[in-house]
Amino acid sequence: MERLAYRELIAWKHKDDRKPLILNGARQVGKTWLLKEFGSREYENLAYINCDEVAAMKDAFTDFSPDRLLRVFSAISGTNIKPGVTLIVLDEIQEAPLGLTALKYFYEKAPEFHIAVAGSLLGIGLHEGTGFPVGKVDEIKLYPLSFKEFLMALDKTALVQQIESCRWTEVSSLSVIYTDLLRQYYYTGGMPEVVRSYVEEHDIFRVRNIQKQILADYRRDFSKHVPADILPKVNMIWDAIPAQLARENKKFMYGAVRKGGRAKEFENAIQWLVDAGLVYKVLRVAKAEKPLKFYETPEAFKLFALDLGLLGALSDVDARDVLINNYAFTEYKGAFTEQYVLQELEALGERVYYHSKDRSELEIDFIIQKYHVYPIEVKAAENLKSKSLRTLYNDNSSLKPVRFSMADYREQDWMVNVPLYLVSEWIANAE
């Protein structure tokens, strides 16, 4: 299964100023598989150690001497570690948090060795008293498979090449094919184990069972990692996500989690889920102007799930409503389509906001800043009315409005309509 992040790993290997690497990402997005695949294909040998399975690793970092640690890694992995030809992988690094501190010393004293660590965000950054090696490491974040990666997994090479050609109008002529595949992606989502099962078996019931198992695993992670005083609140926030997204106004409402709920009561639980990589928090900006960060309003935000398929499983959406009846596109207040667009933008590394004005009905689903500012409207069907976008553009003609919908590609004098299946590639090529 090809992952686009593999290209980032190749670039990391060949950097002149390469630093130790942290591969970040939520549980079960494929970090271990990717590093093992990278090590086996791009290096003469791989020294792989799972810190959760090797008890000795918890006490290995009595000091941070790279020479001593290399001997430890070599003995545990059974691999003769050589600079430049061996990839050292320390997996589940959160179980030996001082291992993160040790990366600083590899950068300063042994930069010729290629070392990468991986660990769930449930652990990384949550250990008190751990010295994170700021400025001494490279970081790559891994997400669930994007729609393009889903096509690659299905061996739809020609369709991927069509998307990458950037001939938008020509690609739109294949909209029936792309839309059917997008419908399948809405159901499976991008968790690697789910996609692999779907590719190999095309069993939609097996897909849902795997999604449910992943959700159950996350619940167990909550019990293991979440501080006891916020555990009930984490569960409440997690359970509330589908209902929050099904509302017309998707701004997160504490009162919808529990009657009388307030920010002070739930903000730690939300932050834990964000740090764990299990939810995306999309902040509101008060103005649609550069730089967007100046206009953040942290008290107003939307919460989205990690993965589209997991959202479907968490919501108990019937397979027929996604794969046959098309309700995923047209119902649920567009929740699944907004989730899809948000995932595509996050996987590109975009900082995503939404925009609304006080005492106004105007709301823009998402807004991002590249060189230009792109207000984004998401339409779950072919409805081409964009009143809010037009109003915003009339106030500021320097904006570059874009509407993602089921309609074909079309450039207008003030905005662009982009088919949903082209979200990632179009944004990646925007200025």
Mean pLDDT of 101-114: 96
Tokens for 263, please give them.
């920010």
* Percentage of the chain exceeding pLDDT 70: 94
pLDDT of residue 124: 54
Residue 37 three-state SS: helix
pLDDT band at 324 (very low <50, low <70, confident <90, very high): low
Closest by CA position to 422, among listed 402, 392, 398: 402
**What pTM value is reported for the model?**
0.93
Helix (H) or strand (E) holding 150: helix 147-153
Residue 44 three-state SS: coil
pLDDT band at 1 (very low <50, low <70, confident <90, very high): confident
pLDDT of residue 126: 46
Residue 2 three-state SS: coil
| Predicted confidence (pLDDT) per residue in 30-48, tens digit | 999 999 999 999 999 999 9
pLDDT of residue 287: 95
Report the alpha-carbon distance of residue 211 to residue 309 in Å, rounded.
7
Tokens for 385, please give them.
């009315």
pLDDT of residue 358: 72
pLDDT of residue 327: 64
Helix (H) or strand (E) holding 24: strand 21-24
Report the alpha-carbon distance of residue 290 to residue 160 in Å, rounded.
33
Judged against a pLDDT cut of 50, whether residue 67 lies above it is answered with yes
| Predicted confidence (pLDDT) per residue in 209-237, tens digit | 999 999 999 999 999 889 999 999 999 99
Neighbours of 91 (CB within 10 A): 23
Cα 151–chain centre separation:
17
Closest by CA position to 47, among listed 10, 82, 86, 95: 86
Report the alpha-carbon distance of residue 143 to residue 191 in Å, rounded.
9
Judged against a pLDDT cut of 90, whether residue 147 lies above it is answered with yes
pLDDT of residue 97: 81
Judged against a pLDDT cut of 70, whether residue 205 lies above it is answered with yes
Mean pLDDT of 106-126: 83
Contact (CB, 8 A) for 366 and 332: no
What mean pLDDT, rounded, does the chain reach? 92
pLDDT of residue 127: 47
SS3 assignment for 296-324: EEEEEEEEEECCHHHHHHHHCCCHHHHHC
Tokens for 204, please give them.
């939609």
Lowest-pLDDT range of 162-176, 238-252, 390-404: 238-252
Judged against a pLDDT cut of 70, whether residue 78 lies above it is answered with yes
Lowest-pLDDT range of 88-97, 131-140, 152-161, 396-405: 131-140
pLDDT of residue 299: 94
| Predicted confidence (pLDDT) per residue in 267-283, tens digit | 999 999 998 999 999 99
Closest by CA position to 119, among listed 52, 59, 64: 52
pLDDT band at 266 (very low <50, low <70, confident <90, very high): very high
Tokens for 313, please give them.
């499983």
pLDDT of residue 359: 65
Domains of the chain: 5-141 (3.40.50.300), 147-428 (no CATH)
pLDDT of residue 133: 81
Phi, psi for 352 (deg, rounded to 5): -105, 135
